[in-house]
Amino acid sequence: MRQTKQKDIILRILHEMGDHPTAEEVYAALKPDYPRLSLATVYRNLNLFVEQGKLLKVELPSEPVRYDIRLPKHIHAICTDCHAIVDIPAEMTGPLLGQLEDLIGQSSGFAVDDMSILVKGRCQNCQARQQSSAVPEALAQVEDPASVRTGQLAVTLPSADLTPAETADRS
């Protein structure tokens, strides 16, 4: 397999994978069809693509380096629950990144070579999962969860004139 073919297949699999794969994930996806391909070749080509501006390198704290085929440069949001990476569209963030680079240069004299912004929060799936898990937690606090489903929920409130001991006797 020639070097150009290796580059072509690596770029092709990056487009097919779509998400933000690690070098190991790219290698694992290609290895069955290209058994002579080495992990070192994958790393070398990924780094070359980054240098050539064909690929973005996404570096996250305590995570393996990931690669992003989606250009131009944009902001990444990472889910603190499932670690999914969500692209914030360049149309929204491109002008802001340029303005931020200018501001940094003007205020500090610092010449920005590269910049990446990482936004942390919860993705839509994890937000939905958290909201749906709140319902079972609320039901767990109800004595008869079936009564909630049938609409016959009876709540007994202690009477103001009863002592705590008398209230306990009534339940």
Task: Answer for the pair 35, 19: CB distance below 8 angstroms, yes or no.
Answer: no
Q: What is the pLDDT of residues 143-160, one digit of tens each?
A: 554 444 434 433 334 444
* Pair (90, 142) in one structural domain: no
* Pair (111, 129) in one structural domain: no
- The domain total for the chain is 3
Joined tokens for residue 121: 């929060």
* Pair (66, 45) in one structural domain: yes
DSSP string, 66-125: EEE---S--EEEEETTT--EEEEPHHHHHHHHHHHHHHHHHHH----S----EEEE--HH
**Residue 161 placed within a domain:** no
Task: Answer for the pair 86, 79: CB distance below 8 angstroms, yes or no.
Answer: yes
Spatial distance between the Cα atoms of 121 and 127, rounded to a whole number of angstroms? 10
Here the CATH number for the domain that contains residue 42 is 1.10.10.10
Here the CATH number for the domain that contains residue 99 is 3.30.1490.190
**Residue 39 placed within a domain:** yes
0.85 cut: is pTM over it? no
Spatial distance between the Cα atoms of 36 and 96, rounded to a whole number of angstroms? 44
Spatial distance between the Cα atoms of 54 and 155, rounded to a whole number of angstroms? 63
**Residue 166 placed within a domain:** no
Query: Which of 70, 96, 131 is the C-terminal boundary of a domain?
Result: 70
164: preceding bond cis by omega (within 30 degrees): no
Range(s) of the domain holding residue 132? 123-153
* Pair (1, 55) in one structural domain: yes
Q: How confident is the model at residue 92 (pLDDT cuts 50, 70, 90)?
A: confident
* Pair (53, 88) in one structural domain: no
* Pair (85, 43) in one structural domain: no
* Pair (66, 27) in one structural domain: yes
* Pair (1, 66) in one structural domain: yes
Q: Which residue type sits at 160? A: A
Q: What is the pLDDT of residues 34-89, one digit of tens each?
A: 999 999 999 999 999 999 999 999 998 888 999 999 988 889 999 999 989 999 98
